[in-house]
Amino acid sequence: MNEHANAALHCVDVLKHVCGDNDIYNDTPLCREIRKHLDHCPGCTNFLQSMNKTIELYQHYHPNVPADLHAKVVEALRHRTQDK
């Protein structure tokens, strides 16, 4: 039980570190420990996969630029910068 609680707490620390845009490839004791944890913890590994997938999906979602964008920008510039 205790052991489980400790292990769980450790996962939280690992995930907070990794999800907070922190490097895990530095040669520090913390990073080494995190890498070791990730090698043996399927929960954290799956979580990281899901986090990376979330980012990837947003990266691949490219909006269509409307055909009249340029005309609209030019129109705004004409109206709002006339007397400048």
Partner 1 sequence: MDHSDNSVQDPESKLIDLAKQGDGKAFGELVKQFEDTVYSFAFKVCRDHEKAVETAQDTFVNVYLKLNQFDGKSKFSTWLYSIVANNCLMKRRKTKLEESSVSIDESSDIRVDDLVSYIVPWDPDPAETLLTNELKNVLDEAIKKLPMEYRVVFVMRDVEQMAGEEVAEVLGLSLPAMKSRLRRARLFLRNELRPYMEVKP
Positions touching partner 1 (CB under 8 A) are: 5, 8-9, 11-12, 15-16, 19-22, 42-44, 46-47, 49-51, 53-63, 65-66, 69-70, 72-77, 80-81, 84
Sorted by sequence, the CB contacts under 8 Å of residue 31 that are 6+ apart come out as 23, 24, 25
Contact positions with Zn ion (CB under 5 A) in 17-56 = 41, 44
Sorted by sequence, the CB contacts under 8 Å of residue 43 that are 6+ apart come out as 11
Residue 50 CB, nearest distance to Zn ion (Å)? 13
Binding segment (CB under 5 A) for Zn ion, from list 6-14, 25-33, 55-63, 71-79: 6-14
Sorted by sequence, the CB contacts under 8 Å of residue 51 that are 6+ apart come out as 18, 19
Give the interface with Zn ion as residue ranges (CB under 5 A): 11, 41, 44
